[in-house]
Structure formats: C-alpha cells, structure tokens
Amino acid sequence: MMRLIIFDLDGTLVDSSVDLTNALNYAIEPYDIERITVQRTKGLVGEGITRLIEKLLGQEMIALRQSVMDRFMEHYTAHLVDFTRPYAGVVETLAVLHQYKKAVISNKRETLTRQVLWKLGLLPYFDAVLGSDSVDEKKPSPKPLLTVMEMFSCSAGETVIVGDSNFDIEAGKAAGIPTIAVSYGFREAGLLQQADRIIARFPELPRVLEKLGEHGNNP
C-alpha cells in the first residue's frame, strides 16, 4: 500500500504565478528587458530560481544574472503570498490524507518553500519539506525523492509523487515510483503524458491513491 506522498509546490499545491511574475518584473525593471506575462512565467518555472532567471535573460544578458537575482529575491521574499493561494480543494484534501506521510519537494529554496507553506497555513500537513538547496541535486534528479524515501523508510512501491511538470514526472520515473500529474498547473498537458495518472482536480487524489495502492507499483 501507499505510505508516502511527495508533492511539488508551485503549480501543484499553490498558484504562485502572479507573485513570481511581479518579482521577475521588479528584478528586470532597470534593464532593457521586456516585461514578462504570467503565462510566460508559468512556462519558465520548474528548474529553480537561478535557472528561471538565466532563461529569462538569455545568453546575451547573462552578465546581469546576479544583480537580477538579488533584485528578484529582495522583492519576492517581501511579497511571497500577496496573491499566492492554494488551489481549490487542496486544504480539504490534505486534511483527509492523514494516513499517509506527506512531503513537499520544491525546486524553490527550502526557506522560501517553508515560508510559503507556513504563511498559507499548509505547513502542519507535511512531515518533511525539501527545497533546491536541501540536497546537492534537484528535480528532475531522483536524489531529493530518494532522500525523503529513506527518511521515512519507504520503498518505491510505497511512494508516489504528485506534480504539475515534466521535471516531477522525470524525477519520479528515475526513482522508480508512480507519478501523478495535475493538469491544472503551470505546464501544458502535452508535457504530462508520461505520468502514470493525470488528475484535473486536486480532490481526485484520494481515489487515485487508493487505485494505485490496489495495483501495487504497476499503475
């Protein structure tokens, strides 16, 4: 049976796209860079803040990376949850998943991940929280997943990952665990087709977990 659920944060548990976009636009304001839209932010998020800024700047403006990063962090840490909210049904669903160990693994830094969860009242639902700097590799590497599995002595057959991006799916596949993609998040549906299950609403999760448990590690 399933014992451990690993969740992604941005685009899975919470919609942080507006706050991320506002921080990015503040970061690039002094420079000759076109303002970014929320939709474009959603397409860039997933590999961590440093990589996000590198993709935004492009190779021709990479020399600005540190100054843009500093401005981003200045704004984002001060406005973490101005507009960020849990997706519909997240709080209610987490409350009924008490029989599982639950962890968040984000490619956002651990301190920021914990702050977002705490400010939104979600932190008490989780037994572990890892960010991009918690271990020496981040998703799509399986290392953070394997770290949490070892923490709770859970095998691949007892663990599942829930996320909105191909990075979550790739990390799950590399760790040998079932993968559940959410189609309401930041990534286009076409990038999620390798997941073992796809759900359109977070409250669908308990039933999907039951089915995975019935079939063991063969979704």
Hey, which residues are catalytic here?
8
- Please tell me the number of Cα atoms within 13 Å of 187 on its side-chain side: 22
Under 8 Å CB-to-CB from 180, ≥6 apart: which residues?
160, 161, 162, 163, 195, 196, 197, 198, 199, 205, 208, 212
Residues 129 and 44: their CA atoms lie apart, in Å, by 23
- Please give the helix or strand (H or E) that residue 174 lies within, else none: helix 166-175
Q: How far is CA 157 from CA 1, 4, 61, 126, 207, in A?
A: 7, 10, 45, 20, 17
Two structure tokens written together for 156: 């691949």
Two structure tokens written together for 23: 């921080």
Q: Torsions phi, psi of 158, nearest 5?
A: -110, 5
